[in-house]
Chain A
Amino acid sequence: MSFSPIPQLPEEFKVLSMMHNIGAITPERSLTADELSQWTGIDVSTVNAYLHKLREGGYVEFIEISGIKKYHVTGIGIMKVLTLYS
């Protein structure tokens, strides 16, 4: 039986981890997809796709201000990020 090597971190996890590390963990500290694109260097459409997937998993949530969505990490999102370091 052969086992697969340990994979690289999924890129959406890098977005989640970045959001956590820069403090986007409460609604008032939420960030737009544009801002997250600048932080991560990943293009906006890809960031939006990752945010969609992360939201489906319950790891991020958004608030909407003047039609613009701003995202923050949820409690279980924080717990998921921290599994990398403990």
Chain B
Amino acid sequence: MLQVKDAGSSMRVAMITWEYPPRIVGGIARHCEGLAKALVNQGHEIHIFTLDFPGAPDYEEQGGIRIYRTRSEVGHPNFLTWVLLFNHFIEKRMADVSRLVDFDVLHVHDWLTASAVIAFKHFSRKPLVFTAHSTEHGRSGLHIPDSFTIDGFEWWSTFEANKIIVTSNSMKGEVCGHFHVLGSKVEIVPNGIDQSKYEGTVDKGAVRARYGIQPHERMILCVGRLVPQKGIEYLIHAVPIVARRRPEAKFIVVGDGWYRDHLEWVANTTGHRWRITFTGFIPDWDLVALTKSADVLVVPSIYEPFGIVALEGMVAGVPVVASQVGGLTEFVEHDRTGVLVYPRNPESIAWGIDHVLSNLGHAEWLVKNAREVVQKTYSWEAIAKRTGKIYKEVASGGQP
């Protein structure tokens, strides 16, 4: 039997995530940080349970957010065993904290910390909200035993959750279809963006010069984890096609990942290696400056539940060329807020880049429309309000 909370009050939320700044892997860390900040501003009490990171304290308070970083005291060479071990340590930490804090809602992000939270849910009899940021089925397919195990964790999380949050209509279809979940159990709450980060001006010339872009050259930016689903290989194959039409084109690829060596090898085969710079991970402030200084932002993903990088480009005032996949199609409207191109198709990607660079007046119009859409719909304040409503619904027993 769930403990029931008065639906009118603010919530005490345990938010559990394997990544939280400064431990940033993909979009989840930034998502949790933006959501937690906005929820605190709206009067909720947010407790983040996450993993340790070199240099970060075991416990700290940031703007009212209480952050508990748990060290995994025992490691294991097998990744999935390591995951189960750190879940055990997170669960212990949650149990310790729960002696002092009576949580109203548990909110877990993705499968990696699900086993700790599901056990804690049954112990504490508190409602569980699960945000499915992506699925293993979509990320990697189900080709190896580990993927089937991860898929099983994801199914288990959707089964145990009182409410499932996804960030796009596309993800709702994926979750309902793959895990056989009723649509009424799934709420779409998009990702948000901290628009204040993109306010102010930058010295574009100086930023571009730091990355080897001359004043007469065009900077085509791509940001993401260097993993197959980001489709960066197809952008690299588009480089010679773009270069034929635009000899002044240069490409900056920001991010890192296990696929990087392969992508650099592909870049070496294009005959245009000198046009392509791989920066690795860069600091957040530099990424903002770089994004604001780009001529085009390309998001060539082949799988994208949401695509927050595109949203960041839109708010930074750079025209976005994005693959017509997943969540990207829900806010990049072709030739109105950006340009959609065919995924896995270098010719199409090259066309999209050239389309934007060929007509600067049209590109400015795209940017203006894109900014309006982002400002209206994707503020963290709006997203926290919708999330808070879900917390209140599950805490008041609105969903079994």
- Chain A contact residues, CB within 8 Å of chain B: 1, 3-4, 6-7, 9-10, 13, 17-18, 21-26, 39, 57-58, 74-76, 78-86
Contact = CB atoms under 8 A, between A and B. Distances in A.
B74 A23 contact: yes
Nearest to B133: A86
Interface in B147-204: none
Interface string B81-102: 0100000000000000000000
Which of A24, A76, A82, A85 gathers most chain B CB within 10 Å?
A: A85
A79 B24 contact: yes
A48 B77 CA distance: 19
B280 interface: yes
A21 B25 contact: no
B233 A3 contact: yes
Contacts of A3: 233-234, 237, 344
B75 A10 contact: no
A81 B237 CA distance: 26
A21 B79 contact: yes
A77 to B, nearest CB: 10
A6 B260 CA distance: 12
A76 B262 contact: no
B304 interface: no
B72 interface: yes
B309 interface: no
A83 B227 contact: yes
A75 B53 contact: yes
B256 A75 contact: no
23 contacts: A3-B233, A4-B262, A9-B258, A13-B258, A21-B77, A21-B79, A22-B82, A26-B54, A74-B54, A75-B54, A78-B53, A79-B24, A79-B25, A79-B256, A80-B256, A80-B257, A83-B226, A83-B227, A83-B258, A84-B79, A84-B227, A86-B19, A86-B112
Given A17-B79, A23-B72, A86-B26, A80 B53 contact: no
Nearest to A13: B258
A55 B82 CA distance: 24
Interface string B23-41: 1111010000000000000
Contact of B82 (A10, A21, A58): A21
A58 B110 CA distance: 28
Q: How big is chain B's contact interface, by range?
A: 35 or more
A75 B110 contact: no
Contact of B25 (A1, A18, A24, A83): A83
Interface string B216-257: 000000000111100001100100000000000000000011
B280 A85 contact: no
Nearest to B226: A83
A10 B259 CA distance: 9
A39 B256 contact: no
B266 interface: yes
A1 B237 contact: yes
Contacts of B63: none
Contacts of A74: 54
Contacts of B145: none
A58 B237 CA distance: 28
Given A26-B54, A75-B54, A83 B76 contact: no
A63 B336 CA distance: 54
Contacts of B228: 6
B219 to A, nearest CB: 23
A60 to B, nearest CB: 12
A75 B55 contact: yes
B258 A18 contact: no
Contacts of B346: 1
A39 B82 CA distance: 15
A31 B346 CA distance: 44
B78 interface: yes
Contacts of B237: 1, 3
A22 B28 CA distance: 24
B28 A21 contact: no
A10 to B, nearest CB: 5
Contacts of A6: 228
Nearest to A40: B77
A23 B225 CA distance: 23
Given A3-B237, A26-B54, A76-B256, A82 B77 contact: no
A10 B257 CA distance: 11
Contacts of A81: 258
B5 to A, nearest CB: 32
